[in-house]
Every structure is written in structure tokens, then in C-alpha cells.
Amino acid sequence: MCVFNLNSAEFPLRTIVDLSTSCSSSMSTQTGIRPDDRLAAFFGQCRGGRHRMIKVKIRNEAMVLDEAREASGNWQQDWDNMVLPAVEEAEPCYILYRCGKFLCFFCWCCCSIIFFSF
């Protein structure tokens, strides 16, 4: 898990917003997996902090938006209703979860998943 303070220079908001224009230069260099147009456009519109949770999956060699939920209470109240149901046992995903001024980044991958079969 990574935690970023959204109000510090450590994690400027433009990091998320610029995703719509700069993903190919950073992310695809590492893996070749790029966000699809819908996800890039969604991140480009994520200002104001109204989204509490964003879930991203990899489908057909692209990162896709699977789910986005707006805050309905404080972050502790929303946790059980949003994050726990979003995690599927055998389905890897990335979850961004806003905890007040912090943004937590989770990578979920079940240990029992077989990636390659020989």
C-alpha cells in the first residue's frame, strides 16, 4: 500500500490529472500496459475529491475503469461498504481510496492465481 498526502508537494494533483496525456510516457515504458481512453478521460475529470474509491483492472492489455464510487460518509464509514466488496478473491486490481487528505493506493493479487501454465 502507498499513501500520498494530497496537500503536499509529494503528490501534486496534476499527477492524476495529467494521466490523460502522459500515461504513455511513464507507465507503458515499464509494462506496455496503458489506460484505455475511458480511464484516461475519467482521471482527467477527477478534481474536487468527490470520488472516494476508484477501482482499476487490466483487460485486454489495457488498464480499465471497473468502478468509481463517490463519498457517502467519512472515510472510515465508507471503507467497509466500498473497498471490501470491491476486492474479488481471484481478480487482481488496483484501488485508489481517498482517506481525507490522503490517497491510498492498493494493489490486490491473490496468491492462488496461476498466471502461466506450462
**Helix, strand or coil, per DSSP, at residue 24:** helix
With a CB cutoff of 8 Å and minimum separation 6, the contacts of 105 are: 1, 2, 3, 4, 94, 95, 96
| The pLDDT value given to residue 116 | 56
Using an 8 Å Cβ cutoff, are 24 and 39 in contact?
no
List the alpha helices (DSSP H) in the chain: 14-17, 19-30, 37-44, 75-86
pTM over 0.85: no
Classified by CATH at the fold level, domain 2-108 comes out as Severin (3.40.20)
pLDDT of residue 38: 94
What pLDDT is recorded for position 1?
46
pLDDT along the chain (118 residues), means of 10: 46 39 46 88 84 93 94 90 88 90 86 57
What pLDDT, on a 0 to 100 scale, did the predictor assign at position 7? 47
**What's the pLDDT score for residue 113?**
54
